[in-house]
Homo-oligomer: A and B are copies of this chain.
């Protein structure tokens, strides 16, 4: 297509460095190189003469965006062809009812492993659809840990599925293993806050879902990886657009999908591949988290971690200072030095440093230096 100049070349101001490390629990920080690419592509995508947001979801350019996003996702986790990769809307929360609506027959039962606020929400939202049960709960101990082996989980061999949350954003706990429910019980996982933080064998799962705004891009799309048999399962009459099958059969676009959000997730996939994939990502994340946990553990009790050590999250690091006043002072002084959004969730308080894939190592080093300095002054 020939390009007809429609106006003068626009001069752009030089881009100032941002100077801030964003420790938000989500929406969280994104790789700067993804943002720089997005800046180009919202103006003019692939030389088309217009931007990603303006392309028809049925056009050849978006065909390519969508196909690449799916293919790159498949490459990253070596996802076999009998799993569908879907880009849905409504947040991970929408999966709280889409999962039971589509997988839990009336009168059937499903197991929930409730290890935190969102895990419990998933359980609550499933109740209207069948007899769901808590196969494990750490609520009585303030969700400080997740189970460490299958024998801690009271599985029901007749369950339609077993659901767990691999990382608990609010509590700062994480599964470092994959549960194995009884044979024939598909495993369903809310992986919103640690998907693609390390290697993932999807064949252990029936269905994985993840809101994009932590490790996969921007809020507005939810990645669902689902075994083709489960995608087709029909346990009740559901509205057409609340069935996985509708999206699986129509490349996630039975209607207009959130095109920009899918594009952005695709760019994050490309960034993960450029970084070498999930093995290097796991090493990178372990190193970053260790820097901060070492600072907690080496503080002689000044910083006190919330999670039981065997359940510590590599994504969300939660701790408290000796008083609530010091929590507040820590968060506020850190922000003044360019380390922002570390206030704990309103349900837990304290400090939370979220260090998703996109958090540079330098951000963690800077935080650790600040933690030591702050303790010296206030300890």
Please report A residues at the B interface, Cβ cutoff 8 Å: 1-22, 24-30, 35-36, 38-39, 42-44, 48-51, 53-57, 59, 89-94, 96-97, 101, 125, 128, 211, 213, 217-221, 237, 239-242, 254-261, 264, 335-338, 340-341, 362
With a CB–CB cut-off of 8 A, which chain B residues contact A93? 241, 254-256
Is there an interface contact between B9 and A14, defined as CB atoms closer than 8 Å? yes
Is there an interface contact between B335 and A237, defined as CB atoms closer than 8 Å? no
With a CB–CB cut-off of 8 A, which chain B residues contact A240? 125
- Per CB-CB distance, the 8 closest pairs between chain A and chain B, nearest first, are A20-B49, A220-B258, A93-B255, A53-B218, A89-B89, A4-B338, A10-B15, A3-B19
Determine the distance from Cα of A16 to Cα of B213 in the docked complex, in whole angstroms: 31
Is there an interface contact between A20 and B8, defined as CB atoms closer than 8 Å? no
Closest Cβ of chain B: how far from A253's Cβ, in Å?
Answer: 10
Q: A22-B49, A39-B43, A92-B255 are in contact. List 11 more A-B contacts (CB 8 A).
A: A26-B256, A27-B259, A38-B42, A39-B42, A53-B264, A89-B220, A90-B241, A91-B257, A218-B259, A219-B259, A220-B220
Closest Cβ of chain B: how far from A367's Cβ, in Å?
Answer: 13
Determine the distance from Cα of A237 to Cα of B97 in the docked complex, in whole angstroms: 13
Query: What is the total number of copies of this protein in its complex?
Result: 2
Secondary structure dominating the interface of A? loop
Chain B residue nearest to A48 in the complex (CB): B20
Determine the distance from Cα of A218 to Cα of B260 in the docked complex, in whole angstroms: 7
> What are 17 A-B contacts with C-beta separation under 8 Å?
A4-B338, A6-B17, A6-B21, A9-B16, A22-B49, A25-B56, A26-B56, A27-B56, A29-B50, A53-B217, A53-B218, A56-B341, A93-B241, A93-B254, A97-B239, A128-B237, A218-B259
Q: Which of the residues B30, B97, B336 comes within 8 Å of A241, measured between beta carbons?
A: B97
Chain B residue nearest to A2 in the complex (CB): B336
With a CB–CB cut-off of 8 A, which chain B residues contact A13? 12
Closest Cβ of chain B: how far from A328's Cβ, in Å?
Answer: 16
Is there an interface contact between A28 and B10, defined as CB atoms closer than 8 Å? no
Closest Cβ of chain B: how far from A172's Cβ, in Å?
Answer: 16
Determine the distance from Cα of A341 to Cα of B255 in the docked complex, in whole angstroms: 18
With a CB–CB cut-off of 8 A, which chain B residues contact A53? 27, 30, 35, 213, 217-219, 264
Determine the distance from Cα of A257 to Cα of B42 in the docked complex, in whole angstroms: 21
Determine the distance from Cα of A21 to Cα of B21 in the docked complex, in whole angstroms: 39
Q: Which of the residues B49, B261, B337 comes within 8 Å of A19, measured between beta carbons?
A: B49
With a CB–CB cut-off of 8 A, which chain B residues contact A29? 50, 54
With a CB–CB cut-off of 8 A, which chain B residues contact A51? 30, 35
Is there an interface contact between B54 and A28, defined as CB atoms closer than 8 Å? yes
With a CB–CB cut-off of 8 A, which chain B residues contact A57? 27, 219
Closest Cβ of chain B: how far from A302's Cβ, in Å?
Answer: 25
With a CB–CB cut-off of 8 A, which chain B residues contact A90? 89-90, 241
Closest Cβ of chain B: how far from A169's Cβ, in Å?
Answer: 11
Is there an interface contact between A4 and B337, defined as CB atoms closer than 8 Å? yes
